[in-house]
Chain A
């Protein structure tokens, strides 16, 4: 249990996908302007990350590894994620239109988001099924890691949309307007996350 909490907390704070691992930078810079769109996008990312892990983890260890098809990992994962996102969109549109209205618009953007493909590949790499670990333990660790990564994305997006609204009104040198100042602000936000290094391990030591 402690192991799962450590995985969750370090995925949120230490190995933050956006600010330390540089995955999912496009939506981070593109959709973080307003708080509500940042929240919508991050909720969609958490949802798709959990779903994608739930689908790709069994595929890897029941289908690809036993048949020595590991080299097909990239192709299979990206196709599964793309199909899954399409399916979720159709199901949401038909059965829960209100949720589709708030999350649906962000779903197509997520298909080619490197954070989602990244989390599925890292889960298979970091929490594999071996002689000593059972499938369910690996699966639980992977799901917790996906949840933590999604929450980390959410945290970074929400924090950064606050930072961006503060930049909006300030007087910025002409050549720094737009993207450059956003990146500098991202650098400072990412600096604040460096402070978490080593905290989580020692918390449970």
Chain B
């Protein structure tokens, strides 16, 4: 796979939000307006880039058995750095992202990429993969935020849009609107984007944390469900 393909796969073919369905929590929560979406996308991309580079560089040093705790510590460290930078240079963004900024630690995209890509590939490839995924995440967030802000609030990045600002569908900026727009976008992706139908079911095995827990709990979960 050449570098360009490696970068571009994160944008459409393996878009972390719309195709891999990773990181749903921040996607739903921070896509109420475009400014928040851009901020969240940039913060997550920064953490993803740093963690992918470091994890890939240390992939031969970290023992396989304790790799997940190691990844979590590394990621938490980078999140703390990003948190401090945002607090210092963009306090308004810090206030509007609130709890979701420290929660980048448990964003499935970051742990997922560490587990699926960075611990098997070279540093440069991992960095390119992180950038592609980060851009894909940001684009998906901005797309969703644009729909929600333009129709829900009648504005774009805070600038009012003439006709729409008098006819707001405010429900779109609230919680139900988030689920609704996300559902529509994934359906549109299924319909129009060129990709093979792979997700027949959204169960535990498709859960991104399954990569982290080695799918062990899924197998156990299945057994438990059968036994009961």
Q: Which residues does A use to contact B, with CB under 8 Å? A: 19-27, 29-31, 33-34, 36-37, 40, 71-75, 78-79, 82, 101-102, 104-109, 112-114, 117-118, 121-122, 125, 173-176, 178-184, 186-188, 190-191, 193-194
B202 in contact with A22 (CB, 8 Å): no
> With A25-B25, A191-B176 in contact, do A180 and B80 touch (Cβ < 8 Å)?
no
The one of A73, A112, A179 that contacts B111, using a Cβ cutoff of 8 Å = A112
The one of B72, B208, B217, B225 that contacts A78, using a Cβ cutoff of 8 Å = B72
The one of B77, B187, B200, B224 that contacts A101, using a Cβ cutoff of 8 Å = B224
The answer to the question of B60 belonging to the interface, with a C-beta cut-off of 8 Å to chain A, is no
Instruction: Write the chain B residue with the least CB distance to A103.
Output: B224
Binary per-residue interface labels of chain B (189-228) against chain A in the complex, 1 for a CB within 8 Å, 0 otherwise:
0110000000111111011110011001100110011001
Q: Which residues of A sit under 8 angstroms from B182, Cβ to Cβ?
A: 183
A184 in contact with B175 (CB, 8 Å): no
Known: A184-B184, A187-B178. 16 other contacts (CB 8 A): A20-B175, A21-B29, A22-B29, A23-B25, A37-B225, A71-B84, A74-B80, A79-B69, A114-B103, A114-B107, A118-B99, A122-B99, A178-B199, A182-B183, A183-B182, A191-B171
**Nearest Cβ in chain A — how far from B26, in angstroms?**
8
Q: Which residues of A sit under 8 angstroms from B24, Cβ to Cβ?
A: 22, 25-26, 29
A117 in contact with B204 (CB, 8 Å): no
The answer to the question of B93 belonging to the interface, with a C-beta cut-off of 8 Å to chain A, is no
**Nearest Cβ in chain B — how far from A188, in angstroms?**
7
**Nearest Cβ in chain B — how far from A179, in angstroms?**
5
Instruction: Write the chain B residue with the least CB distance to A191.
Output: B176
How many of chain B's residues have a CB under 8 angstroms from any CB in A?
58
A184 in contact with B80 (CB, 8 Å): no
Q: How far is the CA of A180 from the CA of B18 in the complex (A)?
A: 10
Mind listing 20 A-B residue pairs with CB under 8 Å?
Answer: A20-B175, A21-B29, A22-B26, A26-B209, A30-B206, A71-B84, A74-B79, A74-B80, A105-B217, A108-B213, A109-B213, A113-B106, A117-B105, A117-B106, A118-B99, A179-B186, A187-B177, A187-B178, A187-B180, A190-B179
Instruction: Write the chain A residue with the least CB distance to B191.
Output: A175
Q: Which residues of A sit under 8 angstroms from B200, Cβ to Cβ?
A: 178
Q: How far is the CA of A26 from the CA of B137 in the complex (A)?
A: 17
Q: Which residues of A sit under 8 angstroms from B212, Cβ to Cβ?
A: 112
Instruction: Write the chain A residue with the least CB distance to B87.
Output: A71
A22 in contact with B108 (CB, 8 Å): no
The answer to the question of B102 belonging to the interface, with a C-beta cut-off of 8 Å to chain A, is yes
Instruction: Write the chain A residue with the least CB distance to B69.
Output: A82
Instruction: Write the chain A residue with the least CB distance to B79.
Output: A74
A114 in contact with B106 (CB, 8 Å): yes
Binary per-residue interface labels of chain B (88-117) against chain A in the complex, 1 for a CB within 8 Å, 0 otherwise:
000000000001001101111001000000
Q: Which residues of B sit under 8 angstroms from A182, Cβ to Cβ?
A: 183, 202
Q: Which residues of B sit under 8 angstroms from A181, Cβ to Cβ?
A: 183
The answer to the question of B21 belonging to the interface, with a C-beta cut-off of 8 Å to chain A, is yes
Binary per-residue interface labels of chain B (154-186) against chain A in the complex, 1 for a CB within 8 Å, 0 otherwise:
000000000000000001001111111011101
> With A118-B99, A183-B180 in contact, do A178 and B204 touch (Cβ < 8 Å)?
no
